[in-house]
Amino acid sequence: MPIDTSTQVGNSSLQDSGQPFLSAVGIHKRFGGVHALKGVSLDIVPGEIYHLLGENGCGKSTLIKIISGAQPPDEGHLIVAGRTYSELKPLDSLGAGIETVYQDLSLIPNLSVAENVALTEQLVATNGRLLRRYDRPTLAQTAVHALEAAGLPSDARFRDTPVELLPIATRQLVAIARAIATKARMVIMDEPTTALTQREVDNLIRVIEGLRASGVAVLFVSHKLDECYAIGGQVIILRDGEKVAQGPIADYTKSQLMQLMTGKQLEGRRYRANANWGEIVLDVRNLGVAGAFDGVSFALRRGEILGLTGLLDSGRNELALALAGVRPADRGEIRVDNEVQHFKTPAEAIAKGIGYVPEDRLSEGLFLDKSIRDNVATAVLDRLLGRFGMLDAGKGDDLAARTIKDLQIAAPNIRLPVQSLSGGNQQRVLIGRWLAIEPRVLVLHGPTVGVDVGSKDTIYRIVQRLAENGLTVLIISDDLPELLQNCDRILLMRKGHLAGEYDAATLQEADLYHALIGDDAEEVRA
Domains in the chain, ordered, with CATH?
11-262 (3.40.50.300), 280-517 (3.40.50.300)
Half-sphere exposure of 100 (CA within 13 A, CB side): 23
Residue 16 has pLDDT above 60, yes or no: no
Q: Is the pLDDT of residue 403 over 50?
A: yes
**What residue spans of 168-274 are helical by DSSP H?**
168-181, 198-213, 225-231, 254-262
pLDDT the model gives residue 14 = 54
d(CA 35, CA 111): 38
Q: What is the pLDDT of residues 95-135, one digit of tens each?
A: 888 988 876 667 888 889 998 888 776 666 666 555 545 67
Q: What is the mean pLDDT of residues 413-435?
A: 87
**pLDDT of 7:** 31
Q: Is the pLDDT of residue 136 over 90?
A: no
Q: How far apart are CA 433 and CA 374, in angstroms?
A: 9
**Spatial separation of the C-alpha atoms in residues 236 and 216, rounded to whole Å:** 18
Q: What is the pLDDT of residues 445-496, one digit of tens each?
A: 988 887 777 788 889 999 999 999 999 999 999 888 899 999 999 999 998 9
**Bridge partner list, 476:** 308, 445
Please give the average per-residue pLDDT across 162-179, as a whole number.
Answer: 84
Q: Is 365 helix (H, G, I), strand (E, B) or coil?
A: helix
The SS3 assignment for 119 reads helix
Q: What is the DSSP letter of 8?
A: P
Q: Which amino acid is at 192?
A: P
What is the structure's pLDDT at 104? 63
Largest CA distance in the chain: 76
CA separation for the pair 479, 514 (Å, rounded)? 14
- Look at residues 455, 436, 444, 147 and name the one whose alpha carbon lies nearest to residue 300: 444
Using the predicted structure, report yes or no on whether residue 195 has a pLDDT greater than 70. no
Cα-trace Rg, the chain = 24
Helix (H, G, I), strand (E, B) or coil at 332: strand
pLDDT at 126: 61
In the chain, the percentage of residues whose pLDDT exceeds 90 is 43
Q: What pLDDT digit, counting tens, does each position of 212-240 carry?
A: 998 999 999 887 888 899 999 999 999 98
Q: Is the pLDDT of residue 390 over 50?
A: yes
**CA of 3: how far to CAs of 43, 81, 196, 287, in Å?**
19, 13, 41, 65
CA angle 152, 195, 43 (to 5 degrees): 85
Per-residue pLDDT tens for 241-262? 999 999 999 999 988 888 898 7
Report strand pairing: 441-445 vs 354-357.
parallel
Confidence of residue 154 (pLDDT cuts 50, 70, 90): very high
DSSP 73-87: -SEEEEEETTEEESS
What confidence tens digit (pLDDT) does each residue in 139-149 have? 888 899 889 88
pTM beyond 0.85: the answer is no
Q: Is 142 exposed, middle or buried (0-12, 13-18, 19+ CB in 10 A)?
A: buried
* 216 touches 444 (CB < 8 A): no
* CA distances (Å), origin 344, targets 300, 331, 341, 351, 440: 21, 12, 9, 12, 18
* Residue 12 CA neighbour count, 13 Å, CB half: 1
Spatial contact of 445 and 359, defined as CB atoms under 8 Å apart: yes
37/424: higher pLDDT: 37
Distance, CA of 71 to CA of 62 (rounded, Å): 8
